[in-house]
Amino acid sequence: MIQAEQINAVRKFQMARSFLSRNLYFTAAYWVDGMMVDTGCAYTVQELLTSLKGYQVDYIVNTHSHEDHIAGNAALQKIYGADVMAHPLALPVLADPRGKQPLHFYQRLMWGYPDPSKGKAIGVFLETRNHRFTVINTPGHSPDHICLYEPKEGWLFSGDLFVGGQDRTLRADYNIWLIIASLEKVAEMDIYILFPGSGNIRKNPHNEIIGKIEYLKKLGEHILSYYRQGLSYSQIRRTLLGPEIAIAYFTLGHFSGTNLIRSFIEDQPHMNDTKKMAR
């Protein structure tokens, strides 16, 4: 399913695969001034193409190479001849999604494999007809994650950098310390509207971003304190986060509270690899 909404000059397309009459995990794409920011998953490509009738697409920018953000690239490139641009590390995945980024069962169920697309390395700035966007490297959610910032309008297209609430799980390949550093980077900017990968748009999000940073830092302090006392990863998780929530079982541990504990401990900046302990 797909829902479209106009926010100032930005057109939002919030999408999810419908399965057994239920919508599975919303993701979003945005159109502004001839540019698409992300293109959704394989199961929503045809609906996105229908929703874009009457719009011109000159550029596609992928905030990162995860399967729920790149799957419309190939079809839009074929129809519009649009240039696809992303972080250099994303380009091999765009060209060969199946080979470079094999999916777990839950990912295939919810999003599916994207068709290959041909991308170009994005620069420091991207200019459309009426806007000039600054490209910000924001790794952590993935090594190739970027955000787009339009300072004149105060827009930040943040991909999956910012997710609201207090995290209790983390995907196995995320880096929590890089996420915190990337959040601190965007927290310094004057943001009027934040356009996230979930589609849950926020106005004047500064305090919410700061709150997220403070929560994660405080959680990290507690985790490292317990770790220095000799507690195992699972013991720390039970003490601070409680039992694993349903997503840990649905994803067979790919998303889990234990992964969040592990990343806080093992992904610390300057940590000596020889001292890392896998528990």
Looking at residue 272, what is its pLDDT? 52
Looking at residue 274, what is its pLDDT? 35
Split at pLDDT 50, 70, 90, the class of 219 is very high
**% of the chain residues with pLDDT over 90:** 91
Mean pLDDT of 214-218: 98
What is the dihedral sign for C-alpha 132, 66, 249, 243?
A: negative
Strand partners, 103: none
Higher pLDDT, 83 or 277: 83
Q: What is the pLDDT of residues 137-188, one digit of tens each?
A: 999 999 999 999 999 999 999 999 998 889 999 999 999 999 999 999 999 9
Which residue from 131, 176, 181, 183 is spatially nearest to 153, judged by alpha carbons?
A: 131
Mean pLDDT of 2-28: 88
Is pLDDT of 116 > 70?
yes
The least confident of 71-75, 106-110, 266-270, 271-275 is: 271-275
The least confident of 11-25, 147-161, 233-247 is: 11-25
Is pLDDT of 271 > 90?
no
Looking at residue 276, what is its pLDDT? 46
Estimate the share of the chain in helix, then strand, then coil, as percent rounded to the nearest 5. 35, 25, 40
2-163+189-204 placed in CATH 3.30.70.20: no
- DSSP annotation of 178 reads H
Which residue from 183, 177, 169 is spatially nearest to 213, judged by alpha carbons?
A: 183
The least confident of 23-27, 86-90, 250-254 is: 23-27
The least confident of 19-28, 120-129, 151-160, 247-256 is: 19-28
Which residue from 244, 187, 195, 239 is spatially nearest to 213, judged by alpha carbons?
A: 187
Distance, CA of 235 to CA of 35 (rounded, Å): 47
Q: Would you tell me the crossing angle of helices 257-266 and 176-187 to the nearest 10 degrees?
A: 80
Mean pLDDT of 132-141: 98
Whole-number mean pLDDT of the chain? Answer: 94
Looking at residue 182, what is its pLDDT? 98
Is pLDDT of 268 > 50?
yes
Mean pLDDT of 257-261: 98
Vertex 139 angle, CA 129 and 259, to 5°: 140
Is pLDDT of 277 > 50?
no
CB atoms within 10 A of CB 271: 12
Could you give the strand order of the β-sheet that contains 83-86, starting from the edge strand earlier in sequence? 2-7, 10-19, 22-32, 35-37, 59-61, 83-86, 119-121
In the chain, domain spans = 2-163+189-204
Is pLDDT of 275 > 60?
no
